[in-house]
Amino acid sequence: MHNVDWQLEEIVTQLRATRETWRERNGRSRERGCRELPSRSAIRVITDDLIGALFPMRLGPSDLRRESEDFYVGHTLDATLNALCHEVCLELKYIARQLGHDAGDTQARAVEIVQGFAADLPELRRCLDADVMAAYHGDPAARSVDEVLLCYPGVHAVIHHRIASYFYQADLSLLARMIAEIAHSDTGIDIHPGATIGEGFFIDHGTGVVIGETAIIGNNVRLYQAVTLGAKRFPADERGHLEKGLPRHPIVEDDVVIYAGATILGRITIGTGSIIGGNVWLTRNVEPGSNVTQANLQSGPCP
């Protein structure tokens, strides 16, 4: 191909002007010359390495041997937690700037948050083991727990959610969303990191599942593809802006099964042990032990 004059000098100049206009409009200082926000690419590497350390012989490096397992876990966590601390510090500084606060103690706070996360890793692994077993026992096509862990997108999404949830609860919503969106991009399963999810959670098939920020899910719950646990309405304030943080998503109690395509909206409760059939649209409470199908919704109240 012949050399082409792309007019790059002019384009670069115009892009710089556009960036500066945006920064001035949004109160971004010109004095800061380094990166101000966590890096998506860094968060992906960190998350992958954390998952490898949690499940070293299955999700760690392909050449790992059992005799070097502990060394790999220790070495990986040392590097990864330091990298994570840097990203946490960036978000804490960002939050401080947004609020107009002094960012002087962000390093110490970042260390405290990551130390807490590191201390929780054994409990996180125990909880994930329960999720993997739920998937294995909940799918007759599963031949082994290893197949479930290595292959199932629902398990992949739940692992990311349980990591993201820790940082969401630490008020690091940007970092938490980055972790959640890695799984969303990889699996088509959209779990907001603010959702509260109990043990033994299984998403079968998974594509198209949406779980909203304020959803609460109990223990031993199973969802199928294209299930939505969403909001029914979005109240606005006096300026017309949507109000944030309101409890607007469903509560799903223990031992509930929700089949493919069901849409459950609003702050309603699905009672313990209920079964929600495929393609059901629900906006009202369901009593414990109910079996809800399209047919019985059309014919009268939920049993």
The letter for the amino acid at 194 is: G
Tell me the pTM.
0.91
Contact 201, 134 (CB under 8 A): yes
Please give the full DSSP string across 44-111, using - where no structure is assigned.
HHHHHHHHHHHSHHHHS-TT--GGGHHHHHHHHHHHHHHHHHHHHHHHHHHHHHHHT---TTHHHHHH
The letter for the amino acid at 225 is: Q
Q: What is the set of domains in the chain, with CATH numbers?
A: 35-188 (1.10.3130.10), 208-236+243-303 (2.160.10.10)
Q: How far is CA 261 from CA 21, 31, 137, 211, 226, in A?
A: 45, 51, 22, 13, 5
Per-residue pLDDT of the chain (303 residues; tens, 9 = 90+): 678 999 999 999 999 999 999 988 887 765 555 678 999 999 999 999 999 999 999 999 999 999 999 999 999 999 999 999 999 999 999 999 888 888 778 999 999 999 999 999 999 999 999 999 999 999 999 999 999 999 999 999 999 999 999 999 999 999 999 999 999 999 999 999 999 999 999 999 999 999 999 999 999 999 999 999 999 987 777 787 777 878 999 999 999 999 999 999 999 999 999 999 999 999 999 999 999 998 887 655 555
Dist CA 303 CA 292 (whole Å): 7
Dist CA 205 CA 194 (whole Å): 22
3-state DSSP assignment of residue 4? coil
Query: How high is the mean pLDDT of the chain?
Result: 93
Dist CA 282 CA 297 (whole Å): 9
Residue entry with tokens 């949507």: 242
* pLDDT tens-digit map of 36-82: 899 999 999 999 999 999 999 999 999 999 999 999 999 999 999 99
Q: Count how many Cα atoms sit within 13 Å of the Cα of residue 181 in the half-sphere of its side chain.
A: 9
Sheet-wide strand order for 216-217: 196-197, 216-217, 251-252, 269-270
As a whole number of Å, the end-to-end CA separation of the chain is 71
Nearest to 94 by CA among 10, 5, 178: 178
* pLDDT tens-digit map of 113-154: 999 999 999 999 999 999 999 999 999 999 999 999 999 999
Dist CA 45 CA 86 (whole Å): 13
